[in-house]
């Protein structure tokens, strides 16, 4: 009888929820395990967990993106603008100190006509020849002196550029975002531009001094010719009356 009752219980368990009569007692209700329903519940729970994980990953990605944006928008703490503009201002200060013939078109034309006339009037005295020659010589020497001062200033600026370049490279290598890297790159380009401008100013000063010296020599030849011509006069012998 006991074996028959156990067999009946197993059959009922595999089939679902039901009631099994117990001999000599009331019917008893049993909760039966359903493998198919359990598997379906597990699958749904796994899908829900996967969705939650995807949402968490998405939030983490957004947080990382915001952090990267903050880094990319972070400004560079170092600026070399003051050193660059200061060096150029020192060069400009030397350029405007040009004496005799300045670096201005209108002033150059006026001074050149005064110091280097195309021809001398017959009434020009010897003292005037000497004074003009001394003025041209003094202006040539001043131009060479100015060129040497600009050369010295450029050398000082280049020495200072070594420290500026080192700081800019360090700032560029330590950049945490694209904005800092771009700002460091812009400052490196500005430093290179400043050096090119220095070279242009130096070349202008050098060419000016050479041009003044060549013009002085050419004018000296013309003055000597005019003085000789005036000394010789018309070339006719003196005839007493």
pLDDT digits (tens, 9 = 90+) for 9-24: 444 444 444 455 555 5
Q: Which pLDDT does position 7 carry in this prediction? A: 43
For residue 136, pLDDT over 80 is answered with yes
Q: Which pLDDT does position 218 carry in this prediction? A: 86
Residue with tokens 């700032």: 171
Best CA proximity match to 133, nearest among 198, 154, 125, 106? 125
**% of the chain with per-residue pLDDT over 70:** 78
Q: Which pLDDT does position 236 carry in this prediction? A: 57
**% of the chain with per-residue pLDDT over 90:** 1
Q: Which pLDDT does position 240 carry in this prediction? A: 56
- The mean per-residue pLDDT over the stretch 78-92 comes to 83
Between residues 220 and 26, the one the model is more confident about: 220
Q: Which pLDDT does position 220 carry in this prediction? A: 84
Q: What is the mean pLDDT of the chain?
A: 76
21-53: burial string, b at 16+ Cβ within 10 Å, e else: eeeeeeeeeeeeeeeeeeeeeeeeeeeeeeeee
Taking the domains of the chain in order of start, what are their residue ranges? 81-227
Least confident of 41-45, 101-105, 145-149, 220-224: 101-105
Q: Which pLDDT does position 31 carry in this prediction? A: 58
Q: In this predicted model, what pLDDT tens digit does every residue of 45-75 receive, in sequence order?
A: 888 888 888 888 887 887 777 767 666 666 7
Q: Which pLDDT does position 235 carry in this prediction? A: 55
Q: In this predicted model, what pLDDT tens digit does every residue of 184-236 receive, in sequence order?
A: 888 888 888 888 888 888 898 888 888 888 888 888 887 787 777 777 765 55
DSSP 3-state helix, strand, coil percentages of the chain (rounded to 5)? 75, 0, 20
Q: Which pLDDT does position 29 carry in this prediction? A: 55
Q: Which pLDDT does position 15 carry in this prediction? A: 43
The model's pTM is: 0.57
Structure tokens at 22: 């117990």
Helices within 96-177 (DSSP H only): 105-115, 126-173
Q: Report how far residue 203's alpha carbon sits from residue 64's, in angstroms, rounded to the nearest whole number.
A: 53
């Amino acid at each position: 009888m006991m074996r028959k009752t156990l067999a009946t219980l197993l059959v009922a368990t595999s089939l679902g929820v039901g009631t099994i009569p117990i001999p000599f007692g009331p019917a008893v209700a049993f909760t039966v395990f359903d493998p198919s329903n359990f598997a379906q519940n597990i699958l749904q729970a796994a899908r829900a967990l996967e969705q939650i994980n995807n949402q968490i990953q998405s939030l983490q990605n957004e947080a990382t993106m915001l952090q990267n944006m903050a880094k990319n928008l972070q400004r560079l703490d170092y600026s070399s603008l003051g050193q660059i503009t200061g060096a150029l201002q020192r060069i400009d200060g030397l350029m405007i100190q040009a004496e005799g013939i300045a670096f201005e078109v209108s002033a150059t034309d006026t001074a050149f006509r005064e110091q280097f006339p195309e021809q001398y009037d017959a009434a020009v005295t010897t003292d005037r020849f000497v004074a003009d020659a001394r003025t041209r010589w003094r202006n040539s020497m001043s131009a060479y002196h100015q060129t040497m001062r600009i050369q010295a200033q450029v050398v000082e600026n280049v020495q200072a550029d070594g420290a500026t370049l080192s700081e800019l490279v360090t700032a560029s290598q330590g950049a945490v975002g694209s904005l800092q890297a771009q700002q460091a790159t812009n400052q490196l380009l500005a430093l290179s531009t400043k050096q090119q401008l220095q070279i242009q100013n130096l070349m202008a000063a050098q060419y000016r001094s050479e041009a003044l010296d060549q013009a002085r020599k050419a004018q000296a030849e013309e003055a000597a010719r005019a003085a000789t011509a005036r000394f010789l006069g018309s070339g006719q012998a003196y005839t007493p009356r």
